[in-house]
Structure 1
Amino acid sequence: MTPTTNAPYVIGIAGSSGSGKTFFLNCFLNHFAPHEIALISQDDYYIPAHTKTQEENKLYNFDLPTAIDRPAFSKNIAALFSGQTIYREEYTFNNQALKPKLLETKPAPVLIIEGLFIFYYEEVNALLNHRIFLHAEEDIALQRRLRRDLIERGYNEEDVRYKWVNHVMPAYRQYLLPFRDQCDRIIINNTDDPAPIVAITDEISAELRTKAL
């Protein structure tokens, strides 16, 4: 995958679990019309759990680069670069109560690529024009993760805490943290007050309009 003369301006956004990526992305996307910006998320490329090997405690490890269908992720990014619309079934984190949606992503002048491993995947990292790293202190991030997984995904607290210690934080330290100092902007998000994030997205989107739109 190599950029073309008509390639979009690409922003890579990554952060630890519980760093506030979803809120940041929603704020950021609100600054643009649908035809101006596209989003592709690594989370929609998880390999189905039933194809993975379970640990002794019957928990799957989703926090590994091999948990993602990397060829499909890269192929769809390349398709957006070439001006094609891509379709992908939403990943529902094995929640059988949720019916997956068919996601449609159209090419746009600005492309956001989001996910834990986007800097680690060399072929993806090479395409990024601007890298954003979101960070939250570990205890704050864990509390956010607990709220999300217990309520939205139906996990029990013991499983969430086990995954945090044995899967989430080791993956963060190995596959994301080493790239932090290479990023163009590091955003510390230790508060649930939305105002600072809104202000930052205001600033970044204004800068982006002068570069890409």
Structure 2
Amino acid sequence: MEKPYVIGIAGSSGSGKTFFLNSFLNHFAKQSVTLISQDDYYIPANTKTQEENRLYNFDVPTSIDRKAFYHDINALFEGKSILKEEYTFNNPNIKPKMLKIEPAPILVVEGLFIFHYEEVNNLLDYRIFIDANEQIALKRRLKRDLEERGYDHDDVMYKWINHVMPSFNTYLAPYKEACNLVIHNNTDNPQIIDNYTRDIVNELKVKLEGL
């Protein structure tokens, strides 16, 4: 199997990255693209050090099994399939699915630290940075964590101030200017995002035909 064309997609928490990513992938034929997500490589929380308020910090590079993440990306390069248990963010109400990641001509790698991990960044052919106004991002984060993950409001705010924003500023923001495409996603209109991703995908398809 030839080396896949590798697209790296990273964004701040609350940037709308997941919605953008799903829309982006829907514009490709299923057999043409595959996704590997850094989020499925979190080290179990019970192995982490808790802070005084009994919260774990998931927003640091050491929270990820970096070696396994890199190993599986390379396995996809070699045409191998990956079996991986879905990470459910410690939500006891969600039964994790077993994910089967198949190799494909286009590989999308996504996650907060994919540009910071030098060995992963060096594999990327095209880099997309999803950004959003901080207040909009925080509003989205609160909605997700309170409604979908059952977190406490004070815990969400503590993490935003002490974990999320310091991590973004240290491990993601410095790579923004080096990305091929920066998207400012301050809208929650699905049609606008869908139109935008369609245009990006069409441009990439033209680029790939020329390779």
Post-superposition shift, 1:197? 1.7
Do structure 1's residue 169 and structure 2's residue 165 form an aligned pair? yes
2:30 is paired with a residue of what secondary structure?
coil
Q: Deviations over 1:131-174 (max 9, x none)?
A: 00011111100000000000111101000000000000000000
Q: d(CA) in 2 for partners of 1:88 and 1:210?
A: 32
Q: Which residue number in structure 2 is paired with residue 200 of structure 1?
A: 196
- 1:144 aligns with 140
2:156 matched to which residue of 1?
A: 160
Give the SS at the match of 1:103. Answer: strand
Describe how 1:1-213 pairs up with structure 2 within 5 A.
6-212=2-208
Q: Once the 2 structures are TM-superposed, how far is the Cα of residue 205 of structure 1 from its aligned partner? A: 1.1
- SS of the residue corresponding to residue 57 of structure 1 reads coil
Percent identity over the alignment?
A: 64
**TM-score in terms of structure 1 length:** 0.96
CA RMSD of aligned residues (A): 1.0
Letter of the 1:34 counterpart? K
Partner SS state of residue 176, structure 1:
helix
Q: Find the residue that maps to 2:75 and give its secondary structure.
A: helix
**Residue 18 of structure 1: how far off its partner (Å):** 0.3
In the alignment, residue 199 of structure 2 is paired with which amino acid?
E
1:85 aligned partner, one-letter code = S
Structure 1: 4+ residue segments shifted above 3 A? none
* Unmatched runs of 5 consecutive residues or more in structure 2: none
Residue 35 of structure 1: SS of its match in structure 2? Answer: helix
